[in-house]
Amino acid sequence: MATRRWKNGFVRWIDARFPIFTATHHQLYEYPMPGNLNYWWNFGSIAGIILVVMIFSGIFLAMQYQPNTAEAFDSVERIMRDVNYGWLMRYIHQTGSSLFFAIVYIHIFRGFYYGSYKSPREITWLTGCLIFFAMMATAFMGYVLVWGQMSFWAATVITNLFTAVPGIGESITTWLWGGYAVANPTLNRFFALHYLLPFVIFAIVALHLVALHTTHSNNPLGVDMKGPQDTIPFHPYYTVKDLVGLGAFATLFAIMVFFAPDALSEPDNFIPADPLVTPEHIVPEWYFLPFYAILRAVPDIGPIPAKLAGVIAMFGATLIWFLVPWLDRSKVRSAKFRPLYQVFFWVLVVNCLVLGWCGKQLPEGVFLTISRIATGYYFFHFIVLLPLLGIFERPRPLPYSISAPILTPSPVSPAGRLELAPAAAGDEARP
């Protein structure tokens, strides 16, 4: 890495003091990528780009926004009506938050399907879980800033979750509010944290990438890269492939921003916050619906009251992702070679969609029953199925390497493999 000689003298001068060019070359050309990534691997880079879009649009919105209960709602309406292109900036930010979650959910479930969390990529997975946690906090506080009815009551309901903590719950909630109800101090601190947390996310993304580039990308076959015949450089192959996905995503993004900006939001949030009137039916944004369903589904469990049990289950639903690398006992990464897990993966996907649908309904009658079954199954999947499948499932035979299915067997390399002389191998062979 350090031995590379640059032709341009200025580049060489910089590089000797701050090896930005060598490092870029290393990460783009020398860094081996599996040659067989499919389009599900686009979502990581799209998530990174949309994080930047959110920070960018958010900074400009913050320049117009008033974090004061008396002016917050009006200042948002002023952005929509009076500020030049304010409507565009806000709709980019609002639609962006929804799509950010959609992209990240796909990214997470791609990890579930292809076993991307398994050794040696546990730290990549854990940093990813941290990012998701920070995202949830950021999205929640950002939603409060609008200071409509849903904002206010979402803030009230979510902060009241902490009253479930035995003994000190009330004190925690008062501390979170900076008062005895959600009010101006709450809005001020939420604004400060909503501005801070995206930069924290940005920093964790950097850790996520360091861990990723240490262990290298997983791939649809889930087998390790065995040599240069299995790899291609990141640039131009995956820069171009990522751009194709990004183009499709940006098209969808633009369609939503310009033609259906409010499709995913609650009409009640166009009513200014009123601390004396709760809306008929409080629902969070769609990306929190499954967790909301879990919160409301849990009944009294033995000595634990339903309120506390619901809060524990809701937080547990995401906290359990931190344990997935150790709950899954199977050595095989990709679900392609795990006939049973493949089925249960899709059952989990459907289960989560059902939970999301239940989160939208009133917690009564058949919806409550379905929520309870789906909540039970959700935890059953992680706590019971994942460990047991690793023991009882018989995986399909794995290919020897990524390139093995392409390189047909021959008398010299029965596994479809050839030891290349170093001079002919990998990047050094290329101009």
Partner 1 sequence: MDTADKHAPDPIPKGRPLTALEEAERARVQALLDTRYMADLGPADAGWGRRQFLFLTSVATAFAGLNFFVWPFIDSLNPAADVQALASVEVDLTPIKVGQSITVVWRGKPIFIRHRTEAEIAAARSVDLSQLPDPQPDAARTLKPEWLVVVGVCNHLGCIPRGQRPTDPHGAYAGWFCPCHGSHFDTSGRIRKGPAPNNLAVPQYTFIDDEHIRIG
Interface contacts to partner 1, rule CB under 8 A = 32, 35, 56-57, 60, 63-64, 78, 81-86, 88-89, 216, 224-229, 232-233, 236-237, 400, 406-407, 410-415, 417-420, 424, 429-431
Say which of 213, 216, 235, 360 is annotated catalytic: 213
Say which of 241, 330, 336, 401 is annotated catalytic: 241
Residue 84 beta carbon to partner 1: minimum distance, rounded to whole angstroms = 4
Q: Which of 198, 192, 89 is nearest to 136 (CA)?
A: 198
Residue 198 beta carbon to partner 1: minimum distance, rounded to whole angstroms = 17
Active site residue 331: no
Q: Which is nearer to partner 1, 230 or 285 (CB)?
A: 230
Active site residue 77: no
Say which of 15, 230, 242, 328 is annotated catalytic: 242
Task: Say how far apart CA 216 and CA 209 lie, in whole Å.
Answer: 10
Say which of 15, 230, 266, 285 is annotated catalytic: 285
Burial of 199 (0-12, 13-18, 19+ CB in 10 A): exposed
Residue 415 beta carbon to partner 1: minimum distance, rounded to whole angstroms = 6
Active site residue 401: no
Active site residue 30: no
Residue 253 beta carbon to partner 1: minimum distance, rounded to whole angstroms = 11
Active site residue 82: no
Q: Which is nearer to partner 1, 224 or 268 (CB)?
A: 224
Q: Which is nearer to partner 1, 4 or 226 (CB)?
A: 226
Distances (CA, A) of 239 to 48, 69, 225: 14, 45, 20
- 382 and 394 in contact (C-beta within 8 Å)? no
Q: Which is nearer to partner 1, 86 or 356 (CB)?
A: 86
Q: Which is nearer to partner 1, 246 or 368 (CB)?
A: 246
Residue 7 beta carbon to partner 1: minimum distance, rounded to whole angstroms = 15
**What is the phi-psi region of residue 118: left when phi exceeds 0, alpha when psi lies from -120 to 50, beta otherwise?**
beta
Residue 225 beta carbon to partner 1: minimum distance, rounded to whole angstroms = 5
Residue 345 beta carbon to partner 1: minimum distance, rounded to whole angstroms = 25
Q: Which is nearer to partner 1, 283 or 407 (CB)?
A: 407
Say which of 217, 330, 401, 403 is annotated catalytic: 217
Backbone CA torsion sign across 338, 341, 343, 345: negative
Q: Which is nearer to partner 1, 233 or 284 (CB)?
A: 233
Instruction: Cis check for the bond before 414: say yes or no (omega within 30 of 0).
Output: no
Q: Which residues are catalytic?
A: 213, 217, 241-242, 285
